[in-house]
Amino acid sequence: MIIYFYKVEEPYGCFSNFSLHEISLHGQEWLTVEHYYQAQKFVSTDERLVATIRAVPTPQEAAKLGRDPNHRIRADWEAVKIPIMREAVLTKFLAHTDIQAILLATGEQVIVEDSPTDYYWGCGCDRTGQNHLGKILMSVRKEIRQRLAP
């Protein structure tokens, strides 16, 4: 069976970067993984924008700011975005044992972000996307299992 997730209010919604699970990374608190991820696009290019994204009250607002084409993204973004996302997702699931249990309970099932529009992080409307977020979740699940093993 494949586990599809997308919206926070649906089953497995805690897998979404928009789920309201705070993370602490590099000495700063972030309301969601989405806040952290979007802000990282502008580290070293626009520290004011990083602070603005960190402070907005919803992940939707963080995403809107981070996706605004009028802002200059850091030069190395394509090379670092997957490791940045993985670190944030791992941090989230290590910090919140309630959702960690949900992730671990998926066993060895494939996890897919069922985004109708995102062919990079999700599967897209025709399910041919790269599903990088699902792959990160499966990798994080494996790492947490290894950490918990006796």
pLDDT in tens, 47-57: 999 999 999 99
Asked if residue 20 has pLDDT above 90, the reply is yes
Residue ranges of domains in the chain, CATH in brackets: 2-148 (1.10.357.40)
Q: What is the pLDDT of residue 150?
A: 85
Give the per-residue pLDDT at 141.
98
How far is the C-alpha of 113 from the C-alpha of 131, rounded, in Å? 6
| C-alpha to C-alpha distances, 96 to 68, 69, 91, nearest whole angstrom | 30, 33, 9
pLDDT one-digit tens code per residue, 55-67: 999 999 999 999 9
User: In whole angstroms, how far apart are CA 114 and each of 10, 18, 109, 122?
Assistant: 11, 14, 15, 6
Position 108 scores a pLDDT of: 97
> How confident is the model over 25-29, as a mean pLDDT?
96
Distance CA 49, CA 21 (A): 22
Q: What average pLDDT does the structure give for the chain?
A: 97
pTM for the predicted model, two decimal places: 0.97
